[in-house]
């Protein structure tokens, strides 16, 4: 079934009307790239494609959700001029908030684990965001707890801040229902058979899987997560030991895979050296998961998400391993 390429999500079209040349109008509609070298041993009728989300102006898939949550806040009247955007983040959503805040005139304050990569912290600071570094051992759950406590301790803070709450805000997954999922259907002419995505806020998986299932309930939607609570997959959650996001819908999961940090590191290096794709660690994990799925097939089109580029992880030591 041939589908026309969707330029942007409908709500974004409405609010950004007349801004076709603006920075924010460039969010979404990212390329779908076929993998070749690493997939050479798969059956000829099996293909793996990845959405190249570093093409978003803020450099990651999180631009989509951040923009949709901010626009939803403006529409509802919860976000007005003079308010500060505040949220917990592992880095990428925070960068998206900071970029969009700068473009639309909002101050941004972010709680993130102290062990977030130096590159992410430097990017956030240069966008003008104020950083609150939280206990690294508590991960993003600890950052969430800090923000909730800050807002609860003083009722006046609710008038000062706009809290998108990316883990519980339906505008997060709706960005992918209206954007990412529709783009995948258009770019594969509706031929996608399997979708693979990691679980962090779970917005990318939930929204995209829901759109694909709406189109064809036979499309298999597979999630993946780290294999233990102590892992090196920045932005990912081990749901069994973490606070489960309110937007997560387990009914959409046909299968859940567990990925080791070591296999993700190795695959991230391989993607750079064998495919010319310099991507982040979560993309390496996504490729490991996509190959696991593809190896069970005789034919099919597997689509996954490469969330960001490798430039935000240059200080990570795994790059030095041979």
User: Would you state the CATH architecture of domain 62-162?
Assistant: 3-Layer(aba) Sandwich (3.40)
- The H or E element containing residue 134 is strand 130-134
The whole-number pLDDT of residue 19 equals 63
Asked if pLDDT for residue 155 goes beyond 90, the answer is: no
Three-class SS of residue 194? strand
User: Would you state the CATH architecture of domain 10-56+170-320?
Assistant: 3-Layer(aba) Sandwich (3.40)
Q: Which residue has the higher pLDDT, 156 or 288?
A: 288
Question: For residues 150 and 102, what is the distance between their CA atoms, to the nearest angstrom?
Answer: 23
Asked if pLDDT for residue 18 goes beyond 60, the answer is: no
CA-based nearest residue to 308, from 286, 281, 289, 280: 280
- Catalytic, 149? Answer no
Domains 10-56+170-320 and 62-162 share a fold: yes
- CA angle (107 as vertex; 104, 108 as ends), nearest 5: 105
Catalytic-labelled residue, pool 60, 90, 223, 282: 282
The whole-number pLDDT of residue 16 equals 58
Asked if pLDDT for residue 7 goes beyond 50, the answer is: no
Q: Give per-residue pLDDT as tens, 47-82.
A: 999 999 999 999 999 999 999 999 999 999 999 999
What the block records as the tokens of 163 is: 């809290």
Strand duo 84-88 + 161-162: pairing: parallel
Question: 288 vs 22, 124, 229, 285, 293, CA distance in Å?
Answer: 36, 29, 19, 5, 9
The whole-number pLDDT of residue 159 equals 87
| SS3 labels along 169-192 | CHHHHHHHHHHHHHHHHHHCCCCC
The whole-number pLDDT of residue 9 equals 45
Q: Give per-residue pLDDT as tens, 272-293.
A: 999 999 999 999 999 999 999 9
Q: How would residue 232 be classed by pLDDT, with cut points 50, 70 and 90?
A: confident
pTM of the entire predicted model: 0.91
What average pLDDT does range 305-316 have in this prediction? 92
Domain layout of the chain by residue ranges: 10-56+170-320, 62-162
The whole-number pLDDT of residue 6 equals 38
Q: Which residue has the higher pLDDT, 317 or 44?
A: 44
Q: Do 129 and 94 form a contact (C-beta atoms < 8 A)?
A: yes
- Catalytic, 138? Answer no
Q: Which of 28-42, 95-109, 134-148 has the lowest mean pLDDT?
A: 134-148
What average pLDDT does range 78-92 have in this prediction? 94
Catalytic-labelled residue, pool 51, 62, 121, 213: 62
Mean pLDDT of the chain: 92
The whole-number pLDDT of residue 116 equals 84
Q: Give per-residue pLDDT as tens, 102-142.
A: 999 999 999 998 988 889 899 999 999 999 999 988 888 89
């Amino acid at each position: 079934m041939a589908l026309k390429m969707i330029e942007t999500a409908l709500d974004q079209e409405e609010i950004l009307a007349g801004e076709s040349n603006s920075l924010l109008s460039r969010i979404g509609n990212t390329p779908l790239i076929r993998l070749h070298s690493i997939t050479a041993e798969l059956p000829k009728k099996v293909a793996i494609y990845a959405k190249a989300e570093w093409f978003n102006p803020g450099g990651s898939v999180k631009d989509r959700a951040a923009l949709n949550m901010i626009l939803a806040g403006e529409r509802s009247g919860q976000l007005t001029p003079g308010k500060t955007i505040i949220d917990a983040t592992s880095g990428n959503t925070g960068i998206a908030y900071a970029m969009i805040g700068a473009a639309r005139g909002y101050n941004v304050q972010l709680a993130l684990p102290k062990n977030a990569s130096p590159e992410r912290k430097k990017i956030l600071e240069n966008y003008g965001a104020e950083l609150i570094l939280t206990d690294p051992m508590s991960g993003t759950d600890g950052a969430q707890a800090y923000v909730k406590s800050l807002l609860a301790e003083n009722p006046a803070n609710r008038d000062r801040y706009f809290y998108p709450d990316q883990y519980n805000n339906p505008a997060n997954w709706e960005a992918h229902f209206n954007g990412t999922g529709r783009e995948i259907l258009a770019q594969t002419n509706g031929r996608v058979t399997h979708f693979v995505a990691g679980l962090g806020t779970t917005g990318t998986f939930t929204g995209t899987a829901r759109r694909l299932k709406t189109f064809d309930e036979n499309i298999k939607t597979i999630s993946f997560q780290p294999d233990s609570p102590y892992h090196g997959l920045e932005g990912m959650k081990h749901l069994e030991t973490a606070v489960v996001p309110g937007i997560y819908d387990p009914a959409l999961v046909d299968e859940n895979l567990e990925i080791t940090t070591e296999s993700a590191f190795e695959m991230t290096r391989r993607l750079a050296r064998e495919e010319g794709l310099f991507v982040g660690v979560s993309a390496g994990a996504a490729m490991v998961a996509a190959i696991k799925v593809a190896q069970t097939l005789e034919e099919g089109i597997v689509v996954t998400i490469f969330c960001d580029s490798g430039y935000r992880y240059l200080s990570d030591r795994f790059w030095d391993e041979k």
